[in-house]
Amino acid sequence: MPTHQSLSGASDEDLLQRMLSTYPQRFGPDFWALFEADVAPHLPPRPLIVDLGCGPGLFIRDLGERYPAGALHGYDVTPAMIEHARRLPSAGALRFEARDVVTEPLPEATGSVHLVSMSSVLHVIEEPLPVLAEIRRVVAAGGIFLLHDWIRQPLTTYLAWRRDVLGESEAESRRRGFRLFPVHNKYTPEDWQWLLGEAGFAIRRQAQLRATHRLYVASADGALAPSATKDGTRS
């Protein structure tokens, strides 16, 4: 599969350091408040959790602290990410493995996973529906797919975000921004909703915790709660 490094021209170490430094913003208090309200109530005390594109493993580490009796598996296509994740002090049964979700099926049994999470990965995959079908295969009845990914925005807004939030210079924001704009701005919120529906998921909650991304809490069988409206409230 394509990687963020190949698309942006960054090295594995550059991306690793960026993911480490931005983790508190990506998984901050608002994210965990939504998780506790809309995901945690549907997980058993000993959940099987899979994080696809786990990066340096910080999210799985934090889930391990919340679910020390669970089994938590993190997969990433970049070996450097897996090497870092395996060095993390952790609670619970954590397993990290280098795996390309585009070319390799998930090792989990059909209908066995209580939560699959995927953050800022699916947009780089050229054909997302086969990957979503594999995710749907492993998610248990009543289980959750937690998707957090880029949404389309105007070019000027995107370049300003690179300058103001990422702290890039004008020249750097344009050098990297024009290269990454088609990748990061591929899908609208409506596109993500359609993709999830095509894969057999029912969206139960959606929210925009950051201007650049939208988060979807989707269930495998439509049995969790009333559907969410476009602005994230429940209908």
If DSSP codes are grouped into helix, strand and coil, which group holds residue 63? helix
Q: How many CB atoms lie within 10 A of CB 46?
A: 13
Q: What confidence category does residue 4 fall into, taking pLDDT thresholds of 50, 70 and 90?
A: low
Among candidate residues 66, 201, 70, 235, the one with its CA nearest the CA of residue 132: 201
Tell me 58's DSSP state.
Answer: H
Q: Return the pLDDT at 230.
A: 36
pLDDT in tens, 193-210: 999 999 999 999 999 998
Q: What confidence category does residue 10 fall into, taking pLDDT thresholds of 50, 70 and 90?
A: low
Give the percent of the chain with pLDDT over 90: 77
Q: Return the pLDDT at 180.
A: 92
Q: What confidence category does residue 5 fall into, taking pLDDT thresholds of 50, 70 and 90?
A: low
For the chain, the average pLDDT equals 89
d(C-alpha 55, C-alpha 33), whole Å: 22
Q: Return the pLDDT at 18.
A: 83
Q: Return the pLDDT at 172.
A: 92
- 71-76 and 113-119: which strand pairing? unpaired
Q: How many CB atoms lie within 10 A of CB 3?
A: 17
Least confident of 89-93, 132-136, 225-229: 225-229
Q: Return the pLDDT at 3.
A: 59
Q: What confidence category does residue 235 fall into, taking pLDDT thresholds of 50, 70 and 90?
A: very low
Domain 4-152+187-219 fold is Rossmann fold (3.40.50)
0.95 exceeded by the pTM?
no
pLDDT in tens, 97-142: 999 999 999 999 999 999 999 999 999 999 999 999 999 999 999 9
pLDDT (mean) for 23-27: 91
Whether 15 shows a pLDDT value over 50: the answer reads: yes
Domain residue ranges in the chain: 4-152+187-219, 153-186
Q: What confidence category does residue 225 fall into, taking pLDDT thresholds of 50, 70 and 90?
A: very low
Give the percent of the chain with pLDDT over 70: 88
Q: Return the pLDDT at 223.
A: 44
Whether 33 shows a pLDDT value over 50: the answer reads: yes
